Amino acid sequence: MGAKNIHFIINPISGKGNNQLTSELVSSVLPHDKFDVKIKQTKGPRHAKILAAKSVIEGADIVVACGGDGTVNEVASSLVGTKVGLGIIPMGSGNGLASTLKTPKNVIQALKLIRKSNTTRIDVGQINNEYFFSNTGIGFDAKVISNYSQAKKRRLATYLKATFSTIFHNTPSQKVIITTENKSFNLRPFLFFVSNSNEMGYEISLTPQASVQDGTLDAIVVEPLNKFEIIRFAFLLLTGRPQSFKKAHYFLTQNIEIKSLEKEGFLAQIDGESTQIKSNQVKITLLKSALKVLIP
């Protein structure tokens, strides 16, 4: 058996923007006689997805996403349904999926995990034609992410600032019909959030019981709220008690359809990245065990 083929895809501007993963550092943990290593750097949005797709064609055994949740999403999206394993070196701000998989934040420790190459398979969410691995949503969280994405520095303080700014400038969501296997909602949701994992990032969670291996998506619909109720809900979220909020409805599902009764399109967030969905219909589904990942 030849050397294991490992490709690193680095987003140099993730997090604090000083991500340098040198070949010398990598080879100190992954020696040349046992590992065939290739290091690639992204040059802009969506480039990580292209680089990862090329790595699959080039015969990579493992592709390592070095960046934040956006970089991880792009790399992982090209690995869904393949036998190629996803490794992560957390270099972003939130690092939601990395935290869920218990990937070490220390670079050397993360490299040692890659050297060990223990793998398992996890579920993958799909929203229309895009994949998500941690979570997706419309409403309040999408507005927060949209505000957060405009900040120059991504860190917890910036996220909290975007959250409170959204609270005090919040506008009503569009009216939608949300349909699942056995539930239906017709409302202007303050929040509609669907999670595959138990963490959003920054150790904050709306769905602490969620699992990437349980074959279901955890969903939450929050009814329209006034500003006082929004502040109360945000407090419960930050203190780990969002499920005690009476206007929040939690359920498990595998298939969801959302239809706008007003304007076309939705402002959404997918794994912490703001996106505009142009269609007035959204389908969210679960793909069981669709991604191979490295774990401790």
**Higher per-residue confidence, 206 vs 8:** 8
Calculate helix-pair angle for 227-238, 156-168, nearest 10 degrees.
160
20 and 98 housed in the same domain = yes
135 and 275 housed in the same domain = yes
Q: Give the span between the Cα atoms of 68 and 168, in whole angstroms.
A: 28
Residue 112 clears pLDDT 70, i.e. is over it: yes
Question: What CATH number does residue 87 fall under?
Answer: 3.40.50.10330
Q: Give the span between the Cα atoms of 200 and 188, in whole angstroms.
A: 23
Question: What CATH number does residue 236 fall under?
Answer: 2.60.200.40
Q: Give the span between the Cα atoms of 263 and 283, in whole angstroms.
A: 17
149 and 14 housed in the same domain = no
Q: How many domains does the chain have?
A: 2
74 and 150 housed in the same domain = no
270 and 173 housed in the same domain = yes
75 and 206 housed in the same domain = no
**Higher per-residue confidence, 200 vs 214:** 214
* pLDDT tens string 169-204: 878 889 999 999 989 999 999 999 999 999 887 778
Residues 228-244: what's their mean pLDDT? 86
Calculate helix-pair angle for 69-77, 47-57, nearest 10 degrees.
40
Q: Which stretches of the chain are assigned E, i.e. beta strand?
A: 4-10, 35-41, 62-67, 85-90, 119-127, 130-132, 135-139, 176-180, 184-187, 191-195, 217-222, 248-253, 255-260, 266-270, 273-277, 281-294
**Higher per-residue confidence, 20 vs 37:** 37
DSSP structure class, residue 244: G
pLDDT of residue 19: 61
Q: Locate 144 and state its tokens.
A: 């927060």
Nearest to 102 by CA among 122, 126, 78, 75: 122
pLDDT of residue 286: 98
* pLDDT tens string 72-95: 999 999 999 999 999 999 998 778
Q: Which domain holds residue 174?
A: 130-288
Domain-embedded: residue 209: yes
Domain-embedded: residue 123: no
166 and 280 housed in the same domain = yes
Contacts of residue 188, defined as CB under 8 A and 6 or more positions apart, other chains included, come to 172, 173, 174, 175, 176, 224
Domain boundary at 93, 117, 141, which? 117
Domain-embedded: residue 159: yes
Residue 224 clears pLDDT 70, i.e. is over it: yes
Residue 220 clears pLDDT 80, i.e. is over it: yes
Residues 107-111: what's their mean pLDDT? 95
Q: Locate 167 and state its tokens.
A: 């609270």
Task: Please tell me whether the overall predicted TM-score, pTM, comes out greater than 0.75 for this model.
Answer: yes
Q: Give the span between the Cα atoms of 31 and 256, in whole angstroms.
A: 46
Q: Give the span between the Cα atoms of 274 and 284, in whole angstroms.
A: 17
